A = this chain, B = another copy of it.
Amino acid sequence: MIEHITSSQEDYLEAILLIQKEKKVVRVKDIAEYFIVKGSTVNETLNNLKKRGYIIQEKYGYIELTQKGTRIARNVYRKHTLLTKFIQNILGVSAKTAEDDACKIEHHLSKETLDNILHFIEFTDRELKRKYDIKKNFHEYIHTKLDSK
């Protein structure tokens, strides 16, 4: 048996957390719709996650995160949110694309880079805002550039 968790499996845990927040209970069908895959695919991954103690699910029943699963889900969600904010607010990318990109790269960035992104956000938010209005300048610049294409 494999000990290591994959990016896809982390995404499943995050999805379960998000669906739980919104719909109270989580079903195979919800996850299948979330990732736009078939139920049988979800089932397979869930069995894997079950085996390793990240989720609990009775046969034909609802899906729940264990403590272990919740910890990972929250962690992924935090990174996801951070990255989305960065890509959207700092880089000036549209909300939808920022969300998509964040989701794809959240598993692949080192702690060092994530920390620096966090600091970048904090820095631009708190320090630079009044001093130079860099975000405003940058966004104006970006939009001018892109619109003129």
Which A positions have Cβ atoms within 8 angstroms of B?
A: 87, 90-94, 97-98, 100-101, 104-105, 108-110, 112-113, 115-117, 119-120, 123, 127-128, 131-132, 134, 138, 141-142, 145-146
A108 in contact with B104 given A123-B141, A127-B141, A134-B132 (CB within 8 Å): yes
Copies of this chain in its oligomeric complex: 2
Quick one: which of B87, B105, B116 contacts A92, CB cutoff 8 A?
Answer: B116
Quick one: which of B113, B123, B132, B141 contacts A97, CB cutoff 8 A?
Answer: B113
A101 in contact with B113 given A119-B141, A142-B119 (CB within 8 Å): yes
Asked if A97 contacts B110 (CB within 8 A), the reply is: yes
Tell me how far the C-beta of A10 lies from the nearest C-beta in chain B, rounded to whole angstroms. 14
Q: How far is the CA of A110 from the CA of B108 in the complex (A)?
A: 15
Tell me how far the C-beta of A88 lies from the nearest C-beta in chain B, rounded to whole angstroms. 10
A112 in contact with B97 given A105-B105, A123-B138, A141-B119 (CB within 8 Å): yes
Asked if B141 contacts A117 (CB within 8 A), the reply is: no
Q: In the complex, what residue of chain B is closest to A115 when comparing beta carbons?
A: B146
Quick one: which of B98, B104, B110, B116 contacts A142, CB cutoff 8 A?
Answer: B116
Asked if B123 contacts A94 (CB within 8 A), the reply is: no
